[in-house]
Amino acid sequence: MPGVQSSLNIIHLGPGNVGKAFLRILLEQKKLIQSVFGIKIIVSGIVRSDKYLFSRDGLSDKEIKKVINKDENLRWLNTPGQTHIKQLMRFIPKKSVLLDTSASDKTVDLLIYQLERGGFAVVSNKKTLISELSDRKKFNPFQQSFFYETTVGAGLPVISTVKDMIESGDKIEEIEGCFSGTLGFIFSELEKGSPFSGAVLAAKELGYTEPDPRDDLSGIDVARKALILSRLLGKRISLKNIKTIPLYPEEMKRLSADEFLSQVHRLDSGYKKRLSNALRERKTLRYVAVVTKNKTEVSLKEVQISGDIGSLKGPDNIIKIRSERYKANPMIIKGPGAGIEVTAAGVFADLLKIIRILRA
């Protein structure tokens, strides 16, 4: 049949933790994909910031396993940069996938190049989607070939659901949600009686926070996700337009990470008081993102303790979507919104969407 493709080449940027978990799923599933969809997945390139592997006809399973296992005998080539990667891309068919699981802010050009030549792209890398408006606009024509489900809520079907609602003519009125497992954990601990500083330190010890916990407490990561959702709703805004209220005062910004950790207990009494005031009204505290037509805002809020957001436990994420059709009762999606395995599975599910398109 004309137009039906029997193989699909991938160039994979950023084989970090999520990237390696993705490659593991790929090795496990590729036989099944070939038998169900008749499409052979060919990993033509794996690219790190400084080096790469490439074979137009596909890296062997053995080589891919070596990447997963960080095998030191693997002979990476040095990459002289972006232009070189573009040259590699020209060796593989246009209807291929550029897959970005890196954390780099330098992949936007490559992604645009791939989309403009008629290819597909899948990213778990949020940085590609939060770039300045001028950059972001370049992605707009490619809403149907650019997949980024895991940038909000990891494997939870958030982006695809909102997209389906919009494209079937629904009008989204409000998206409200908790998109930080780390902050969810911290405020669940507070509810259990832990002081704020204790909750922050516990989160750090469990590996839930960035090395400097202020990267989480600043709310920036939540603001990024709110930005991605806002732009999905067609709003023309940038990160700087989002009202983001951090969980520590201005004057603690200039401290070193260690200084911050040794002084974070200064915030305990404030949060204790705010929580006990909230509890008196059967409310609790949650760090909430709100996106409506007129505002995009992320901040700590008092919410009903028995409500969907208030009853959220530990590191789970939640998204509540109110629309013309889901007005009285919103649509709610909830579950683990971070984690290597669920993110990698979400990236693979995005790849599946492309495979379904190609096998038609």
Q: Of 31 and 295, which has the nearer Cβ to a copy of itself?
A: 31
- Can you say how many angstroms the Cα of residue 166 is from the centroid of all Cα atoms in its chain? 20
Q: Strand 146-147: give its sheet, edge to edge.
A: 77-78, 51-54, 40-47, 7-13, 97-100, 120-123, 146-147
Under the binding rule (CB under 8 A), the answer on residue 357 touching a copy of itself is yes
- Can you say how many angstroms the Cα of residue 151 is from the centroid of all Cα atoms in its chain? 2
In the bound complex, what is the minimum distance in angstroms from residue 76's beta carbon to a copy of itself?
27
Dihedral class, residue 157 (left if φ above 0, else alpha if ψ from -120 to 50, else beta) = beta
Q: Does residue 67 have a known ligand-binding role?
A: no
Under the binding rule (CB under 8 A), the answer on residue 133 touching a copy of itself is no
204 is catalytic: no
Q: Which two tokens stand for residue 232?
A: 């999905």
Under the binding rule (CB under 8 A), the answer on residue 360 touching a copy of itself is yes
Range in contact with a copy of itself (rule: CB under 8 A) among 96-104, 125-133, 257-265, 344-352: 344-352
In the bound complex, what is the minimum distance in angstroms from residue 347's beta carbon to a copy of itself?
9
Please report, as residue ranges, which positions from 292 to 321 form the binding site for a copy of itself (by CB under 8 A).
306, 308, 311, 313-316
Please report, as residue ranges, which positions from 73 to 102 form the binding site for a copy of itself (by CB under 8 A).
95
Under the binding rule (CB under 8 A), the answer on residue 113 touching a copy of itself is no
Q: Of 2 and 193, which has the nearer Cβ to a copy of itself?
A: 2
CB 29 within 8 A of CB 23: no
Which member of 146, 208, 271, 348 binds a copy of itself (CB under 8 A)?
Answer: 348
CA distance 57 to 242: 45
CB 158 within 8 A of CB 152: yes
| 204, 225, 283, 320: the active-site residue | 225
Q: Of 80 and 360, which has the nearer Cβ to a copy of itself?
A: 360
- Can you say how many angstroms the Cα of residue 65 is from the centroid of all Cα atoms in its chain? 25
Under the binding rule (CB under 8 A), the answer on residue 333 touching a copy of itself is yes
Q: Does residue 73 have a known ligand-binding role?
A: no
CB 313 within 8 A of CB 188: yes
Calculate the alpha carbon distances from 151 to 58, 82, 167, 309 in Å: 28, 23, 20, 20
Q: Does residue 45 have a known ligand-binding role?
A: no
Under the binding rule (CB under 8 A), the answer on residue 160 touching a copy of itself is yes
Q: Does residue 213 have a known ligand-binding role?
A: no
Range in contact with a copy of itself (rule: CB under 8 A) among 26-34, 47-55, 204-212, 217-225: 26-34
Which member of 7, 34, 161, 197 binds a copy of itself (CB under 8 A)?
Answer: 161
Under the binding rule (CB under 8 A), the answer on residue 142 touching a copy of itself is no
Q: Of 106 and 325, which has the nearer Cβ to a copy of itself?
A: 325
Binding site for a copy of itself (CB under 8 A): 1-4, 25, 28-29, 32-33, 36-37, 95, 143-144, 155-157, 160-161, 164-165, 167-170, 306, 308, 311, 313-316, 325-326, 328-336, 341-342, 345-346, 348-349, 352-353, 356-360
Residue positions annotated with a catalytic role? 225
Annotated binding site for NADPH: 126
- Residue ranges of the annotated binding site for L-homoserine are 210
